[in-house]
Structure 1
Amino acid sequence: MSSTLSSARATAALRTSARVSAELLVVLVMAAVALWVLGRMWSVVWPLIVALFLTTLTWPLAAFLRRRGWRPALAASVVTVLFLLVAAGIMALIAVPVASQSGELVDGVAAGIQRLREWAAGPPLNIGDDQITGAFDTAMDRLQNSVGSAVSTVVTGVSTVFNGLVTAVLALFLMFFFLKDGPRFLPWLTRQLPGRLATDVPVVAARGWLTLGSFVRSQAFVGLLDAVFIGLGLWIVGVPLVLPLAVLTFVSAFVPIVGALFAGLVAVLIALVSNGLTDALIVLAIIVAVQQLEGNVFQPMIQSRGLGLHAAVVLLAVTLGGSLAGVVGALLAVPAAALIAVVWNYLRDQLSDPPHEPEADEPLPAAPVPS
């Protein structure tokens, strides 16, 4: 009898496992199809995501103007123009000092190359000028032989820049419409959805909007910390172009991992050609220390507190997103994980059993007698 019961239980457990596995397989297939469709529509989805990020940054000012009685179109127009002025100012802070000190940088690069040649000519390398000239001629021959690939690379770069400009313009227009008509979206969505979806989807969308805003603000705060600490270190060492490098560090912080590496590389190169190898190594040590604090302490703590995610989840999400989709994946990994957490928490709350409420004739439990 017991063997029969054990066999029945094993059969039931196997059927349950098979059913759960089949349902999980269906979910995975649906997710794969959704990602495929998303990839096919990426030229439209990416400007939409950028516009949402920009809207979360500029919405507090637009909301402030609307509360003061400004019409939505006027408030959105003013905020959009102010955003363009701030973006142009940031570009000017980077470009103007660099242009004014370009002569010094060119001289520094030439001096750095000369010092490199002198170092290579001495022990232990003992590389003569004829060998350096031969290596240079070989490099030029290879460059001339690869003109076709260089042209294709230039064409690809021009295409990338053009697509970036199109994305920026489209995102800017979408940001204006989001600022102007954003508060109408949830009521409109409520009217379009049937049944309980009219309640659930707008609630999840509102929570997702708050989560996205928290991510963008926390990323801006982390970038500000990087810019202040790295800029202070560059100023103490005496590296030129401190303000452009600090601004570049702040802007690059919105692209996790790669942005920090790019800004740090630029700072180290400028320190090398202007101050020498010792100061370049000091700058490298400063940048590595700040980036380690930012990546392992500041960013996980700030984002985990604002997004409701554990610091380890933030680190794993950035790593997974970067390995799957590069820079874009690293940028979108944390907000995507936070939005998934929002949906999961809402579903868990809705599917959990409601708390037990005593009936009208059910006696309440007696209060504990203090000892």
Structure 2
Amino acid sequence: MGGARLRRFDELRARIRRAYASGRSSDPSAGHAAASDSHPAATPEPGPPAVPPPDIEESKDLHPSTSSRDDADVPHALRIAAAWSWRLIVIGLVAWALVRVIGTIRIVIIPLAIALLLSALLAPMVGVLLRIRLPRSLATAVVLVAGVAAVVGTLTLVVNEFIQGVPDLSRNATRGIRQIQEWLKTGPLHLSDNQLNSYIEQGERWIDENTQSLTSGAVSTAATVAELLTGALLVLFATFFFLRDGEKIWRFLVRLLPVAARWRVDDAGRASWSTLVAYVRATVLVAFIDAVGIGIFLVVFDIPFAFPLAALVFLGAFIPIVGATLSGAVAVLVALVDSGWVTALIILGVVIGVQQVEGNILQPLIMGRAVAIHPLAVIVGITAGVVLAGIVGALVSVPLIAVLNTAVRRLAHRRAPEVPPDAVVIAAKSP
């Protein structure tokens, strides 16, 4: 019995040896190793059975963009779409958080943005005073005081003319309302006195029902007076220091970046500042031409509030497309109330003509290609600015788009930017 078991064990061991030997003879590397062995006749030691070779499908090479077999089973297009999706989600979350932060500290961000625009407008004047050897602080103070005086004087003239013209405009508006009532009675609608009275009563009832909301809005508006004063003071101080120490502030910000990125960022920042200066100066010139052109026709046709309306056109021109349209509509409405529909149509033609000259001749000629922005980008930017920050957002959105356009183009340019004169100083002073 025991001898039979030993024979079976010897047969099993012999089979294992033959299987092992046949596996080594079928493997080229094994044959090469056997040929290089110094004892080819040595009997191999018994060992565990050979592991079967892996499946052919498992040994296939993976795609370079995958890190596991599971990734390789996912279609390439789906992996690309997923990669884009999570990156876009991250960018969206960062943008949302940035908008929330800006909304929280808008009382600081908005005055700083306005101060940058004013600095871009007044910087050439400061440069002129510096060339005649005035100290930088004195030159900045003179330009800033002159600018504030010009704004205050203009507002004073506008308010005085508005106060003087309100009584006449009220009488003309009352006469216009009566003409409208007569037209509603005798025109194609043929409304009766009872119907007109019912509509008037509905309007009065609506005003009475919404008096509380209107009053609360007035109270909230009064509560923002302190914020407006704080913002105005911040605009003045920020404008003064931007004009006086703008170069030092920019160098400080550049030194916070890695050394390898400083020259490119400095080059893009200076190009963006040049774009902002060109945009603001061109916008002021275009706005002045619009205001003078429309104001002359308002004076010729003896339209009340000619100077306030011209000032409104000047301010509205800082908001491209939308601002000129709204300010022109106000001028047409005043002409309609004061002088009738014939004069209103003439003023409407003047406004449309001035806008066409502005859009097709003045802006391309004055601004040039350096600050050229597609009209769709302008409309989208103004809409987003109005939603986020109201009128100030509409005012700031277009120059912001122009600056970002220049900065992105400059950073994306593959050639190495020219080393600015103070780049060596920036690198030397870096910590």
Corresponding residue number in structure 1 for 2:384: 324
Deviations 1:170-191 (A, max 9, x none): 1122111112222322333344
Match of 1:184 among 241, 248, 271: 248
Check 1:64–1:16 CA distance in 2 against 1; reply closer, same or farther (3 A cut): same
Distance in 1, Cα, partners of 2:88 & 2:164? 61
Q: Which amino acid is the alignment partner of residue 227 of structure 1?
A: A
What stretches of structure 2 of length at least 5 have no aligned partner?
1-58, 66-71, 418-431
Q: Which amino acid aligns with 2:332?
A: V
Mapped to 2, the partners of 1:318 and 1:161 lie a distance apart of 31
* Structure 1 residue 227 corresponds to structure 2 residue 287: no
Answering whether residue 167 of structure 2 is matched by residue 120 of structure 1, we say: no
1:100 to 164, 188, 195: 164
SS of the counterpart of 2:259? coil
Structure richer in helix, relative to its length:
1
Choose from 235, 259, 272 the match for 1:171. 235
Distance 1:261 1:164 in 2: 27
Q: Which residue of 2 aligns with 1:250?
A: 314
What is the aligned partner in structure 2 of residue 290 from structure 1? 354
Q: Does 1:136 align with 2:195?
A: no
SS at match of 2:395: helix
**Residue among 97, 122, 146 paired with 1:82:** 146
Deviation at 1:67, TM superposition (A): 2.2
Pick closer, same or farther for the CA change 1:254–1:5 going to 2, 3 Å.
farther
Distance 2:203 2:126 in 1: 55
Tell me if structure 2 keeps the 8 A contact 1:256–1:330: no
Residue aligning to 1:35: 99
Counterpart CA distance in 1 for 2:219 and 2:363 is 37
Q: Cα distance 1:162–1:264, how it changes in 2: closer, same or farther (>3 A)?
A: farther
- 2:267 aligned partner: 203
CA deviation string 1:213-233 (max 9, x = no partner): 112112212212321322233
2: distance between equivalents of 1:31 and 1:146? Answer: 37
Aligned Cα root-mean-square deviation (Å)? 3.2
Residue 21 of structure 1 and its aligned partner are, at CA, apart by 5.5
Q: How does 1:301-312 map to 2 (within 5 A)?
A: 302-303=366-367, 305-307=369-371, 309-310=372-373
Structure 2 letter corresponding to 1:316:
L
- The letter for the 2-side match of 1:219 is T
Shift of residue 117 of structure 1?
A: 2.3
CA shift in 2, pair 1:147/1:20, >3 Å? closer
Check if 1:278 corresponds to 2:278. Answer: no
Structure 2: distance between partners of 1:85 and 1:249: 20
SS in structure 2 of the partner of residue 101 of structure 1:
helix
Judge conservation of contact 1:264–1:287 (CA < 8 Å) in 2: yes
1:192/1:73 Cα in 2 relative to 1: closer, same or farther (>3 Å)?
Answer: same
Q: Name 2:19's counterpart in structure 1.
A: none
Q: Distance in 1 between matches of 2:61 and 2:302?
A: 78
CA distance change for structure 1 residues 152 and 261 in 2, over 3 Å: closer, same or farther? Answer: farther
**Structure 2: which amino acid aligns with 1:102?**
V
d(CA) in 2 for partners of 1:26 and 1:192?
Answer: 25
Distance 2:392 2:207 in 1: 31
Contact 1:48 1:174 in 2 (8 A): yes
Query: Deviations along 1:64-108, whole A, 9 cap, x unmatched?
Result: 112222222211211111011110122133222222233322221
Verify: 1:218 aligned to 2:278, yes or no: no
Give unmatched runs, 5+ long, in structure 1. 355-371
Aligned equivalents of 2:225 and 2:359: distance in 1?
29
- Structure 1 CA distance for aligned equivalents of residues 333 and 135 of structure 2: 49
Q: Paired residues, what number?
A: 346
The answer on whether the counterparts of 1:215 and 1:335 sit within 8 Å (CA) in structure 2 is yes
User: How far apart in 2 are the matches of 1:33 and 1:189?
Assistant: 22
Does the 8 A contact of 2:158 with 2:308 survive in 1?
A: yes
- SS class of match (2:396): helix
C-alpha distance after superposition, 1:122-172 (max 9, x if no partner): 232333444433432332222222221121221233345553343222112
Counterpart among 145, 148, 152 of residue 216 in structure 2: 152
Partner Cα separation in structure 2 for residue 292 and residue 20 of structure 1: 43
Give the greater-gyration-radius structure (CA): 2
Encode CA deviations 1:225-272: one digit per residue, 9 max, x unaligned.
Answer: 321322233234342332332122112212334432442232122212
Q: CA deviation at 1:207?
A: 1.7
Distance 1:353 1:156, change over 3 A: closer
The letter for the 1-side match of 2:316 is S
